[in-house]
C-alpha cells in the first residue's frame, strides 16, 4: 500500500450523543486507500475495535515500521483489493489517535477534556462515520466491515442507515456482551480508575498518565484475546531462564509476553479512551429496546451479510455469531456464515488465516459495483 497520509474531517454541526450530551463540533482523522469510482459505488468502510485506529494498511510517512493493523487484508491484490475498492479507515470519536476525544482541548475550558469527554457509544460512532460519508460524497457503502467491536459498528450501520450500505461483514462480533465479558471489562476499568495517577481522569493536568492501570487492563484483555490452546502451544510452561526462580521476577515465558504487551500498550494508548471504549462494548445491545428480540432489532436492515466466527474464540464465541445469523434469517436477509477453524482465539480476526482470508476474498469479489 506504500505511504498513506492521514486526513482530517471537521463537522461543525452539533452531534447529539446517545447519553443525551451534545458535542457542538468534532473532528475525525481518517485514511483512504484506492480510488472512489465515478459512480461512487465501490466505497468500503472499515471500523476498528478497542485498540485500533484509522491506519488500516500501508505505512505512515513518519515511520516505515508503522504498518496498518489490517495490512494483511487490505491492499492491491489482497482480499479487500484496493485496485477495485475505495477503502476508508477512521479513528472513532473519543479515540486517541487524533479524532476528537479525551485528549482534545475542550473549547469551553481551554484544557484537555480528560474525563469530561462524554461517553461515546457504538451508535454515536456510526452517526459520526455517516457525517464523514456525507463529506466524502459516499451515499451508499458497498460494504461496512469490522472485527470484534468493529463488527458491532457494522451491525449498527445496517440497522441505523439501512439504505446507506449494501453489505455488512461482521467478524468475531456479538450482538451484546455476556456477564463474563462485562466482568473482564470492569476489572480493566477498575485497574485504571484506581491508579493513583488517574486523578479522576484529569491526569493530563498533572503531567502524568495512569500507565500502570492501563498496563494491567491490557494484560487482562490480552488473555481474553488469545485461546487457551494457542497460549499453551505458544508458551506452555516454558521458563524464561530455564529453571524455576523463587521470586516474582518473570519466570514463565507467558509472564514475559503479557508484561511486554501491557507495557507497550500503556506507553501510547489513552486511559480515558480505554474506559469509554469498554463502556461502548458493554452498552451495545440493539435488542434492548425490542424486549431482547434481536430479530426485531435487525428488522430494519436491508443489507446482505457475511458473518464470520472462529472456533477457538472464547471472548465472542461462535454461538454469539450464530445468534446474529439466526436473527437475520428470521428476517429473510441474505446471510453467509463461516465458522473458521483457527487456533488464535478472538485475535484470529487480525490474522491472515488462509481459510478466513479465502472467505473474505470470495465475498468481496462477489460484491457488484
Q: Per CB under 8 A, does 320 bind a copy of itself?
A: no
Q: Note whether 3 and 60 are within 8 A (CB).
A: yes
Nearer to a copy of itself, 7 or 295 (CB): 295
Interaction with a copy of itself in 20-39: which residues (CB under 8 A)? 20-21
Q: How far is the CB of 55 from a copy of itself (least distance, A)?
A: 28
Of the listed pieces 55-63, 147-155, 219-227, 293-301, which binds a copy of itself according to CB under 8 A?
Answer: 219-227
CB of 244 to a copy of itself, least distance (A): 6
Count of residues in the chain: 369
Q: Which residue has the cell 446482505?
A: 304
Bridge partners (DSSP) listed for residue 10: 27
DSSP 8-state secondary structure symbol assigned to residue 300: G
Identity of the residue, 250 or 329, whose beta carbon is nearer to a copy of itself in the bound complex: 250
What pairs with residue 74 in β-bridges?
Answer: 80
Given 68, 75, 114, 118, the residue binding a copy of itself (CB under 8 A): 118
Q: Is 148 a catalytic residue?
A: yes
Q: Work out which of 44, 88, 254, 306 binds a copy of itself, going by CB under 8 A.
A: 254
Say which of 270, 304, 313, 353 is annotated catalytic.
313
To the query of whether residue 309 is one of the catalytic residues in this protein, the response is no
Count of residues that interact with a copy of itself, criterion CB under 8 A = 52
Q: Helix crossing, 211-225 with 253-266: angle to 10°? A: 130
- Compute the Cα dihedral for 155, 159, 164, 166 and give only its sign: positive
Q: Which of 104, 346, 348, 353 is catalytic?
A: 346
The SS3 of residue 319 is helix
Rg, C-alpha atoms of the chain:
20
Q: Which three cell numbers stand for residue 303?
A: 443489507
Name the β-bridge partners of 29: 8
In the beta sheet, which residues pair with residue 87? 33, 44
Q: Residue 63 interacts with a copy of itself (CB under 8 A)?
A: no
Q: DSSP character for 61?
A: S
Nearer to a copy of itself, 322 or 361 (CB): 322
Four-residue CA torsion sign, 90, 96, 101, 106: negative
Alpha-helix residue ranges (DSSP H) falling in 195-283 = 211-225, 228-234, 253-266, 271-283
Residue of 179, 121, 186 lying closest to 149 (CA atoms): 121
Query: How far, in Å, CA of 272 to CA of 193, rounded?
Result: 9
CA angle at residue 66 from 11 to 256, to 5 degrees?
Answer: 120
Stretch that binds a copy of itself, among 100-108, 123-131, 281-289, 320-328 (CB under 8 A): 281-289
**Alpha helix stretches (DSSP H) within 292-347:** 294-297, 318-330
- Please report whether residue 219 would count as binding a copy of itself according to CB under 8 A: yes
Catalytic residue among 148, 211, 266, 309: 148
**Is 289 in the active site?**
no
Nearer to a copy of itself, 82 or 251 (CB): 251
Member of 36, 231, 296, 351 binding a copy of itself (CB under 8 A): 231
Q: Does 236 bind a copy of itself (CB under 8 A)?
A: yes
Binders in 162-191 for a copy of itself, by CB under 8 A: 176-180, 182-184, 186-187, 189-191
Nearer to a copy of itself, 119 or 351 (CB): 119
Asked if 194 touches a copy of itself (CB under 8 A), the answer is yes
Site of grid cell 477534556: 113
Does residue 117 contact residue 92 with C-beta atoms inside 8 Å?
A: no
Instruction: Report the residue from 59, 67, 223, 329 that binds a copy of itself according to the rule CB under 8 A.
Output: 223
Q: Is 130 among the residues that bind a copy of itself (CB under 8 A)?
A: no
Residues near a copy of itself, by CB under 8 A:
19-21, 118-119, 176-180, 182-184, 186-187, 189-191, 193-194, 196, 212, 215-216, 219-220, 223, 226, 228, 231-232, 234-237, 244, 246-248, 251-255, 258-259, 262, 275, 279, 282-283, 285
The catalytic residue positions are 148, 313, 346
Amino acid at each position: 500500500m506504500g505511504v498513506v497520509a492521514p486526513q482530517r474531517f471537521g463537522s461543525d454541526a452539533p452531534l447529539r450523543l446517545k447519553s443525551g450530551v451534545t458535542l457542538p463540533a468534532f473532528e475525525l482523522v481518517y485514511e483512504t486507500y484506492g480510488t472512489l469510482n465515478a459512480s461512487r459505488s465501490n466505497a468500503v468502510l472499515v471500523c476498528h475495535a478497542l485498540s485500533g485506529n484509522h491506519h488500516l494498511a500501508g505505512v505512515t510517512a513518519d515511520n516505515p515500521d508503522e504498518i496498518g493493523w489490517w495490512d494483511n487484508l487490505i491492499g492491491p491484490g489482497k482480499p479487500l483489493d484496493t485496485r477495485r475498492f475505495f477503502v476508508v479507515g477512521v479513528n472513532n470519536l473519543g479515540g486517541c489517535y487524533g479524532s476528537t476525544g479525551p485528549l482534545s482541548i475542550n473549547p469551553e475550558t481551554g484544557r484537555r477534556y480528560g474525563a469530561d469527554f462524554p461517553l461515546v457509544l457504538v451508535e454515536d460512532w456510526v452517526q459520526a462515520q455517516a457525517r464523514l460519508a456525507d463529506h466524502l460524497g459516499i451515499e451508499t457503502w458497498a460494504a461496512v466491515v469490522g472485527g470484534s467491536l468493529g463488527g458491532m459498528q457494522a451491525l449498527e450501520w445496517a440497522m441505523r442507515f439501512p439504505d446507506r450500505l449494501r453489505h455488512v461483514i461482521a467478524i468475531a462480533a456479538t450482538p451484546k456482551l455476556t456477564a463474563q465479558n462485562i466482568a473482564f471489562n470492569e476489572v480493566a476499568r477498575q485497574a485504571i480508575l484506581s491508579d493513583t495517577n488517574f486523578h479522576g481522569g484529569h491526569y493530563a493536568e498533572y503531567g502524568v498518565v495512569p500507565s500502570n492501570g492501563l498496563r494491567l487492563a491490557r494484560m487482562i484483555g490480552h488473555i481474553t484475546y488469545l485461546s487457551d490452546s494457542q497460549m499453551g502451544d505458544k508458551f506452555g510452561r516454558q521458563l524464561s531462564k530455564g529453571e524455576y526462580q523463587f521470586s516474582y521476577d518473570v519466570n514463565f515465558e507467558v509472564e514475559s509476553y503479557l508484561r511486554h504487551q501491557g507495557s507497550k500498550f500503556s506507553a501510547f494508548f489513552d486511559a480515558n479512551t480505554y474506559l469509554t471504549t469498554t463502556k461502548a462494548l458493554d452498552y451495545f445491545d440493539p435488542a434492548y429496546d425490542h424486549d431482547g428480540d434481536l430479530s426485531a432489532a435487525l428488522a430494519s436492515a436491508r443489507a446482505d451479510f457475511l458473518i464470520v466466527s472462529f472456533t477457538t474464540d472464547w471472548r465472542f464465541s461462535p454461538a454469539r455469531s450464530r445468534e446474529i445469523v439466526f436473527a437475520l434469517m428470521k428476517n429473510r436477509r441474505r446471510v453467509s456464515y463461516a465458522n473458521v477453524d483457527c487456533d488464535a482465539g478472538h485475535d484470529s480476526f487480525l490474522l491472515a488465516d488462509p481459510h478466513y482470508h479465502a472467505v473474505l476474498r470470495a465475498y468481496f469479489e462477489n460484491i457488484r459495483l
